[in-house]
Amino acid sequence: MRAFVRLMDAIAVASAVAASVLLFAASLIVTWMVIYRALGNSTFWELESAVYLMVAAVFLGSPYCLRTRGHVGADLLGYFAPDALRRPLHVALAVVGLVVCAYLAWIGGELAWKSFEEGERTGSLWNPPKWPLFATMPIGLGLTVLQYVAELFRQREPGT
């Protein structure tokens, strides 16, 4: 299991790097858009592409956020719980998070597949397909499910 935990930690870091690149690209696009429009020009693709990049960054950054305990958690319960209940509480909360992420990944996968099959597009002037945006949900949340599994096998006290 240690190998799995190390692998998931490496994947979490890689997904965080990918999310960082996507956020940087989105910020460059938005900055360019503001300057370009301030000069009296008009474009049609930049806002939608920046939104796609930011949504993808949120989902792809999720495993790293969990790994570094950046998610909102129920740490207060563990803080006041007796020592004997801390680990079981940590496991129970991780299982709940895992189940929720697995469900959302499944629903996101169905949404992305349906959008792909139907050739669904945004309807804007640029009109990109919607499935790449929807596909980031099952990918990111699927990786988060695996990170929850790694967290369950990690040998440490909750909250550390």
pLDDT digits (tens, 9 = 90+) for 37-84: 999 988 888 889 999 999 999 999 999 999 998 876 667 777 777 888
Q: Flag whether 88 is in a domain.
A: yes
Q: Flag whether 45 is in a domain.
A: yes
Q: Flag whether 159 is in a domain.
A: no
- Which tokens is 12 given? 């979490």
Task: Report the candidate in 87, 73, 63 with the shortest Cα–Cα distance to residue 5.
Answer: 63
Q: Flag whether 103 is in a domain.
A: yes
pTM to 2 decimal places:
0.86
DSSP letter at 152?
H
Number of helices (H), then strands (E), belonging to the chain: the values are 5, 0
**Could you tell me the residue range of the domain that residue 44 belongs to?**
2-153
Q: What's the structural domain count of the chain?
A: 1
Q: Flag whether 98 is in a domain.
A: yes
Amino acid 73: pLDDT? 67
Higher-scoring residue by pLDDT: 30, 70:
30
- CB contact at 8 A, 135 and 115: no
Mean residue pLDDT of the chain comes to: 90
Q: Flag whether 158 is in a domain.
A: no
Q: Flag whether 129 is in a domain.
A: yes
Q: Flag whether 124 is in a domain.
A: yes
